[in-house]
């Protein structure tokens, strides 16, 4: 009996220490702006480092010619489509973990992370099988030439087969960020990106005695570097004495709570559909652009990467907003959540105006640097003249969408994606193709879709149902 009593006493002491350690939460107390920057800045830095990696990747693939650029761009499109469910799982994980942390139910976080991994593992296995046998067929189905499909499959197949490593890294990273600790993943991502940047030219071009894998080397470098990231994060969780009793960890025993899994799925499905629709829209746009030739696809691939480079800051701040909303709703502080969204929306819109001006001014130089030549350069310049002026609209729509996702209200984003990107953007682009309009008309279809997404997000955000969204965290309250 004494042993049992000692166990329970020790257990309660540990719980008290955890409560004391994590109750002073800067995201739910004090300055809203300061709290937002505390969580968002490391994420922005992490995203920036990841984007530098994408730029390095694009640069070395660009040296392989338009066929490799096109194959890589189309492979990335397929990769994004096939991983939509996993991205939906990440969104749901962030909503549940941040809500649990804000409401000081730290004991639920390990259980939530474990159940998120259950879902992600299942889908990763299915996708790995698809990658093993049907990568080239998927590229041909998308409309790639045989040569482009053969080259692209060398990248796509290992990426899909190694998806499980990406999944584990994303889930653990989301756990840290959703508890307000975005610095730890930042430090880990610094190492991940250094490893990847070193391996990229080494494996693509065959340096330091390694064989030249070509575009496949980019996939091998990505998988290896992410595996390093997983090991580092697990080391932080289980080897650092200060983190062993932290909220971000996995349960000592495998547990299964059907109701919790069901509740996560309910939030996950609209987010997965939203991500899937956006990915299918991008895939559809890639197929439409492919009708204008390989040079057009190469230009579209480069411009999409530049789009993502421009959105690095916005994505980081939006992720911070998502965490702020989730934690403050968990703490019952709705006004703080609203204020965080307002601050982020103004900052994001202003930043993207500057990015749009930069891209308009230096379009030719940027495109040339990333391998665009002749026709692909001309097509890319037209893209840069039409799309960047609408960047501030994208930024505001993203801010509202991430805020609602952080509350666990993922259906509005799904509606916006279906109406704006699938129906308006792809539908209008397809109509313009049948009318045999020039390629630059397709870029106007993208702008129209963006405006519709913004209007739908604005409508649901202003209705305010996200403020009262309830999440069932499971366990005993």
pLDDT digits (tens, 9 = 90+) for 172-191: 999 999 999 999 999 999 99
Is 18 within a domain? no
Mean pLDDT of 364-387: 79
Residue range 81-101: mean pLDDT, rounded: 90
380 within a domain of the structure (yes/no)? yes
Tens digit of each residue's pLDDT (9 = 90 or more) over 263-304: 999 999 999 899 888 878 887 888 888 888 877 887 887 787
Is the pLDDT score of 369 beyond 90?
Answer: no
pLDDT value for 13: 37
- Residue 385 lies inside a defined structural domain of this protein: yes
Which pLDDT does position 154 carry in this prediction?
92
Average pLDDT (320-326) is 95
Domain membership flag for residue 14: no
Contact 408, 424 (CB under 8 A): no
pLDDT of 230 strictly over 90: yes
Q: How confident is the model at residue 14 (pLDDT cuts 50, 70, 90)?
A: very low
- Taking alpha carbons only, the member of 159, 173, 168, 172 closest to residue 47 is 173
Q: What is the pLDDT of residue 21?
A: 40
Evaluate whether 91 touches 68 at the Cβ level (below 8 Å): no
Residue 1 lies in a domain: no
Each residue's pLDDT tens digit, 413-448: 999 999 999 999 999 999 998 988 988 888 899 999
Give residue 65's pLDDT band: very low, low, confident or very high (50, 70, 90): confident
- Split at pLDDT 50, 70, 90, the class of 242 is confident
Segment 30-48 shows an average pLDDT of 89
Lowest mean pLDDT of 8-22, 217-231, 232-246, 252-266, name the range.
Answer: 8-22
pLDDT at 169: 95
Q: In angstroms, rounded to a whole number, what is the distance separating the alpha carbons of residues 185 and 175? A: 10
pLDDT at 281: 86
Q: How confident is the model at residue 476 (pLDDT cuts 50, 70, 90)?
A: low
Q: What is the pLDDT of residue 20?
A: 36
Buried b / exposed e along 307-316 (16+ C-beta atoms within 10 A): bebbbbbbbb
Q: In angstroms, how far is CA 190 from the centroid of its own chain?
A: 17
Computed over every residue of the chain, the mean pLDDT equals 86
**Cβ atoms within 10 Å, residue 208:** 8
Nearest one of 435, 430, 312, 444 to 383, comparing CA atoms: 444
Is 473 a domain residue? Answer: no
Q: Who wins on pLDDT, 449 or 30?
A: 449
Q: Domain span at residue 238?
A: 30-468
In the prediction, which pLDDT does 441 show? 87
Q: What are phi and psi of 266, to 5 degrees?
A: -60, -35
pLDDT over threshold 60, residue 3 = no
User: For residue 351, what are the contacts with CB-CB under 8 A and spacing of at least 6?
Assistant: 313, 314, 395
pLDDT above 70 for 4: no
Domain presence at residue 25 = no
- Let me know if 82 is exposed, middle or buried by CB neighbors in 10 A (0-12, 13-18, 19+): buried
pLDDT at position 412:
95
**Radius of gyration of the CA atoms of the chain, in A:** 22
Collapsed DSSP state (helix, strand, coil) of residue 28: coil
Position 17 scores a pLDDT of 35
**How far is the CA of 242 from the CAs of 11, 245, 247, 291, 434, in angstroms?**
17, 7, 11, 56, 62
pLDDT above 80 for 139:
yes
Instruction: Identify the band that residue 23 occupies on the pLDDT scale cut at 50, 70 and 90.
Output: very low
237 close to 248: Cβ distance less than 8 angstroms: yes
pLDDT of residue 187: 95
Q: What percent of the chain shows pLDDT beyond 90?
A: 51
Mean pLDDT of 330-343: 94
| Eight-state DSSP code of residue 419 | I
Supply 161's token pair.
């087969």
Residue 303 to residue 299: CA distance in whole angstroms:
6
This prediction's pTM: 0.83
pLDDT of 50 > 70? The answer is yes
**Residue 416 pLDDT:** 95
Look up residue 107 and give its DSSP letter.
Answer: T
- Structure tokens belonging to residue 227: 């595996």
186-225 pLDDT, tens digit per residue, is 999 999 989 998 998 899 888 888 888 988 998 999 999 9
**Does the pLDDT of residue 1 top 60, yes or no?**
no
Is the pLDDT at 94 greater than 90? The verdict is yes
**Nearest by Cα to 425 from 396, 395, 459, 390:** 390
pLDDT of 100-123, one tens digit each?
999 999 999 999 999 999 998 999
* pLDDT for the residue 477: 54
Q: What is the count of structural domains for the chain? A: 1
Tell me the C-alpha distance between 405 and 162, whole Å.
Answer: 27
Contact (Cβ atoms closer than 8 angstroms) between residue 475 and residue 99: no
Mean pLDDT (whole number) for 402-420: 95
52 within some domain = yes
Q: What is the mean pLDDT of residues 29-44?
A: 90
CB 285 within 8 A of CB 442: yes
């Amino acid at each position: 009996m004494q042993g049992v009593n000692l166990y329970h006493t020790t257990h309660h002491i540990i719980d008290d220490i955890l409560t004391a350690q994590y109750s002073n939460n800067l995201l739910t107390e004090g300055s809203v702006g300061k709290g937002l920057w505390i969580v968002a800045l490391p994420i922005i830095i992490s995203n920036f480092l990841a984007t530098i990696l994408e730029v390095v990747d694009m640069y070395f693939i660009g040296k392989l010619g338009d066929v490799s650029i096109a194959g890589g761009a189309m492979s990335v499109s397929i990769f994004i489509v096939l991983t939509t469910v996993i991205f939906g799982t990440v969104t749901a994980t962030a909503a549940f973990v941040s809500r649990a942390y804000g409401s000081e139910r730290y004991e639920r976080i390990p259980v939530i992370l474990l159940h998120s991994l259950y879902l992600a593992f299942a889908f990763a296995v299915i996708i790995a099988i698809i990658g093993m046998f049907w990568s080239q067929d998927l590229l041909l189905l998308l409309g790639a030439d045989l040569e482009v499909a053969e080259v692209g499959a060398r990248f796509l197949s290992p990426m899909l087969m190694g998806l499980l490593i990406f999944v584990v890294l994303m889930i653990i990273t989301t756990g840290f960020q959703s508890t307000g600790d975005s610095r730890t993943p930042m430090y880990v991502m610094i190492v991940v990106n250094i490893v990847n940047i070193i391996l990229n030219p080494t494996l693509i071009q065959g340096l330091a005695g390694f064989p030249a894998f070509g575009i496949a080397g980019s996939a091998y470098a990505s998988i290896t570097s992410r595996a390093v990231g997983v090991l580092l994060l697990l080391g932080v969780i289980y080897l650092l004495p200060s983190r062993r009793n932290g909220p971000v960890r996995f349960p000592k025993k495998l547990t299964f709570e059907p109701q919790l899994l069901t509740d996560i799925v309910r939030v996950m499905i609209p987010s997965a559909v939203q991500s899937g629709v956006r990915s299918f829209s991008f895939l559809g746009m890639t197929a439409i652009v492919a009708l204008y030739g390989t040079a057009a696809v190469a230009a579209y691939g480069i411009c999409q990467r530049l789009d993502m480079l421009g959105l690095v800051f916005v994505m980081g701040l939006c992720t911070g907003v998502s965490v702020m909303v989730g934690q403050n709703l968990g703490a019952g502080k709705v006004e703080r959540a609203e204020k965080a969204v307002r601050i982020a929306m103004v900052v994001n819109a202003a930043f993207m105006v500057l990015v749009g001006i930069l891209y308009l001014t230096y379009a030719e130089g940027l495109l040339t640097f990333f391998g665009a030549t002749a026709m692909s350069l001309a097509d890319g310049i037209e893209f840069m003249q039409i799309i960047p002026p609408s960047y501030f609209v994208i930024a505001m729509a993203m801010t509202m969408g991430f805020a609602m996702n952080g509350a666990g209200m993922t259906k509005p984003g799904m509606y916006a994606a279906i109406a704006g990107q699938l129906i308006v953007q792809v539908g209008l682009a397809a109509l313009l193709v049948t009318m045999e309009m020039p390629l630059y008309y397709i870029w106007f279809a993208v702008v129209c879709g963006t405006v519709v997404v913004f209007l739908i997000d604005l409508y649901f955000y202003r209705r305010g149902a996200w403020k009262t969204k309830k999440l069932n965290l499971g366990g005993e309250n």
